[in-house]
Amino acid sequence: MGNNNSYWNVANKTNKRMKTKDIVKQLLTKKPHLKDNDNRLCSYIWYNELKAMGFNPYKDITLEFLRLYANGKLTLAPSIKRARAKLQEECPEFRGEKYNLRKGKIQNQWRKDLGYETNK
pTM value > 0.85: no
Closest CA to 8 of 49, 63, 62: 49
pLDDT tens-digit map of 70-97: 888 899 999 999 999 999 889 989 888 8
d(CA 24, CA 26): 5
Q: Evaluate if residue 31 carries a pLDDT over 70.
A: yes
Q: What is the mean pLDDT of residues 44-66?
A: 85
Distance CA(88)–CA(99), nearest Å, equals 8
Q: Given a cut of 90, is residue 15 above it in pLDDT?
A: no
The Cα 32–Cα 37 span in angstroms is 10
